[in-house]
Structure 1
Amino acid sequence: MKQTVIGMFDDVADAQDAVQQLLDDGFPRAHIDVSTQKSNQSNEGFSNFFSSLFGKEKSSSYAAAAKQCDAIVTVHAESDDEAWRAAEILDDAGALDVDEQAMQYERDMPERSVAEAGREETTIPVIEEQLNVGKKEVERGRAKLRSRIVERPVEENLRLREEHVHVERRPVDRPATEADLASFKEGEIDVTERTEVPVVSKESRVVEEVRVGKDVKEREETVKGTVKKTEVDVEENAPETSRR
């Protein structure tokens, strides 16, 4: 939401320094206005300026308070965040509080009596505070997940088979058979020994999944505060207070 931020300065140099700080912070030059006493030779210039911002009811008080200052810096903010940033920059540069200046002017101003149609009138300003409640998002906690690779020793028991060739000679004494005679020739027999050895391989498997999410809930909260207002008590036919 667009907002207007105003800073009053007793010194034109402070106002120019504030403008430079706003530009350094990224505010467009087109969104910054500077008004000085030289550019507003009369109270009418300031009155028209504040009337365009606050209406005619408050313009006279603000204009009278601003007349006591040398320069005014006006920032046209595009959002609440820009308005807060602009206000902080103006405060750091030495800006006076606009509302405080206007209220101080009204407090210091003597009672105004207007003679009209044979009667006197006295104006008492009735001021009432308003409680503005908003909300903003803040961080209340955080969860961080970090994955890492670790190694651990493992072992498995495995039964292995081995073969061994052995040769045995036995003395015999019997007549040769036809089968014995058939094998009565030169030859060669090749016997192979075999053994089992462990074979190791690795397979990656997903054994667990870790999911991260957020549950969003809404709650209602009652914000309490106090506001002040002016109450005027009217006492008719009151006895006159003696004066010395």
Structure 2
Amino acid sequence: MTYHSIMAYFDTRAEAETARQALLADGIDASAISLLPEQETTYRRADTDTAYDYRRDEGGFWSSMGKFLLPDEDRSVYAEGMSRGGVTMAIDVAEADYDRVSTIVERYGSVDLDAREAEWRNTGWTGYTADSLTTEDTVSGLAGDGTARLADRDEDVIPIVEERLQVGKRVVQGGRVRVRAYVREVPVEVPVELREDHVTIERRPVDRAVEANNAALFQDKTIEAVEHREEAVIAREARVVEEISIRQKADVRQETIHDTVRRTKVEVEDERSRVEGVDPDRLRDETTRER
């Protein structure tokens, strides 16, 4: 996973603390947030119109910015701001969180440092120059021309820094397939034959003789006929007529990540003659291989 450092400057520690609490509430880990200076300091330059004295650096602001690998010009601007009572916040965030974190620090009062630098220069601040550092006042022994010298020590060390790209994975949502089943009523027509019985009464005129001794003809008689008819009876039967299946298939693909990392390059200039068995060209080659 690729990480980036976000640098933000606040005029007051209270504003920086408010922004820090907002980042913590948004899920940013506390170990990823640094405030410089780390503690409240009583040092604040009284005359803010004069150039910041890097040779003294009473608050340690210049040296405290060293671990962030900033160019000296940017480092000097942040150090100048801290000498005026401001606070610098550094946040290490994953690339996916970069925009969200930047929005939060801007919302809680981070200063446009380019505009602020212009204001300071208009009031007399001259900014960083390499010859502002002297041998006796710096820890690393930088001379007035910016060249490192050994002072009262047998060796000095230049750290060779190299960033390594860490590639992680996260799940992102792609296209979505949704199948929704619902019930609706639709009209249907089914033909059916229905039977009906009808009773009819017909009177026919006749003229025939009554048989002798047929007394039954003079008795009461009742005949009943009942009509019947068929009517449709509806019943429903549910049957499965089709199935829809949803399957999720995982494919694996190879992707090459292209990004940049920073590393320290070393150039050795040895103007000594070959004495005491020291070969400057061989030394230069070994230094290159060690990188």
TM-score bracket for this pair, using the shorter chain length:
0.5 to 0.7
Q: Which residue type is aligned with residue 39 of structure 1?
A: T
TM-score (norm 2): 0.49
Aligned-pair RMSD on alpha carbons?
Answer: 5.3
Aligned equivalent of 1:94, options 89, 108, 111: 111
Displacement of 1:44 in angstroms is 5.0
The answer to whether structure 1 residue 153 and structure 2 residue 187 are counterparts is yes
Aligned mates of 2:174, 2:223 — CA distance in 1: 85
Distance 2:236 2:129 in 1: 87
2:231 counterpart (190, 197, 212): 197
Please give the alpha-carbon distance, in whole angstroms, between the structure 2 residues aligned to 1:150 and 1:50.
70
Which has the larger displacement, 155-164 or 224-233? 224-233
Contact 1:164/1:193 (CA < 8 Å) preserved in 2?
yes
How far apart are the structure 2 equivalents of 1:19 and 1:151?
63
CA offset at residue 151 of structure 1? 4.0
Alignment match of 2:81 (pick from 69, 73, 83): 69
Return the alpha-carbon distance in structure 2 between the equivalents of residues 132 and 105 of structure 1: 34
Q: Which stretches in structure 2 are left out of the alignment for 5+ residues?
A: 44-57, 115-126, 134-144, 274-291
Q: How does 1:32-111 map to 2 (within 5 A)?
A: 35-36=36-37, 39=41, 41=43, 42-44=58-60, 67-70=79-82, 71-72=86-87, 84=98, 85-86=100-101, 88-90=103-105, 93-94=110-111, 110-111=145-146
Cα offsets for 1:124-169 (capped at 9, x unmatched)? 7755443232233222212234455544332111111111223454
Which shifted more, 106-115 or 152-161? 106-115
Q: Paired residue for 2:254?
A: 220
Deviation for aligned residue 1:191: 0.9
2:197–2:227 contact (8 Å) kept in structure 1: yes
Unmatched 5+ stretches in structure 1:
98-103, 240-244
Name the % identity.
26
The verdict on how the C-alpha distance between 1:22 and 1:233 changes in structure 2, with shifts beyond 3 A counting, is closer
Task: State the Cα deviation string for residues 34-58 of structure 1 (Å, max 9, x = none).
Answer: 55596164345886x779xx6xx98
Distance 1:115 1:157, change over 3 A: closer
Task: Indicate how the Cα distance of structure 1 residues 113 and 187 shifts in structure 2: closer, same or farther if over 3 A, else same.
Answer: closer
Letter matched to residue 87 of structure 2: I
Find the counterpart in structure 2 of residue 133 from structure 1.
167
